[in-house]
Amino acid sequence: MPVFAIGDLHLSLGVKKPMDVFLGWSDYVPRLEKAWKSLITSDDTVVIDGDISWGMSFEQSLADFAFLEALPGKKVLVKGNHDYWWNTSAKMKRWFAENKFESFEILHNSCIFVDDIALCGTRGWLYDIGQPHDEKVMNREVLRLKASLDAAGDAEKVVFLHYPPIYPNASAEDIVAVLHEYGVKRCFYGHLHGASIQYAVQGNVDGIEYKLISADALQFCPIKI
């Protein structure tokens, strides 16, 4: 089954936080819907790589998930830094069931198999050297990434991170080291918008192919991976 990916949808159908105020985001919801329906069938899988909804709670995110549920395909969810609605896996699964949302799966301390590949990943983190809090969060994200990759066994591992693991003059070294340790060849990430898109590191770096998949970087059109 084909697998597609896109990140940073920043949906706000249930709260007053429209993205249309930003350059390039005009009419982004109908543009996303049109592109999605033109590419994706009910048999396909789409990884949504974080920053899914601006809602601060399940209630505020309800309209956003109803919109996504109505789109074709299975949706694999990765946590982003703005996903304040995110809760424990048990609570999210219960909320999906209560609202008859049947197309969502959560990528969190786990992997999801699609044919012969394993979809792996975690949020990641922006790492500032010398900041104890950031180091603590980074260590936790490294453990979550390892748990996801361990669950994949010997399958081909494709990794999705919300935060970029690599920058023009720096990298989240702990995350990148794990990617190499587990033989990952493809890594997709989001988070970058607007003027930052032009500085995204993309292409082959030390044997790993990196690709930015934030929604505005993709012109709101999921890409096939």
pLDDT digits (tens, 9 = 90+) for 85-106: 999 999 999 999 999 999 999 9
pLDDT tens-digit series, residues 123-178:
998 765 555 668 888 899 999 999 999 999 999 999 999 999 998 877 888 999 99
Q: What is the residue whose two structure tokens read 């048999």?
A: 43
Helix H segments across 50-172?
A: 58-69, 89-98, 132-151
Q: What is the pLDDT of residue 111?
A: 96
What is the fold of 3-224? Purple Acid Phosphatase; chain A, domain 2 (3.60.21)
The whole-number average pLDDT for the span 63-92 is 97
The whole-number average pLDDT for the span 15-20 is 89
Q: What percent of the chain has pLDDT over 70?
A: 97
For 164-213, give the DSSP string: -SEETTEE-HHHHHHHHHTT--EEEE----GGGGGG---EEETTEEEEE-
Global pTM reads 0.95
Residue 21 confidence (pLDDT) above 90: no
Which range has the worst mean pLDDT, 20-24, 31-35, 88-92? 20-24
Domain ranges (residues) in the chain: 3-224
pLDDT tens-digit series, residues 110-121:
999 999 999 999
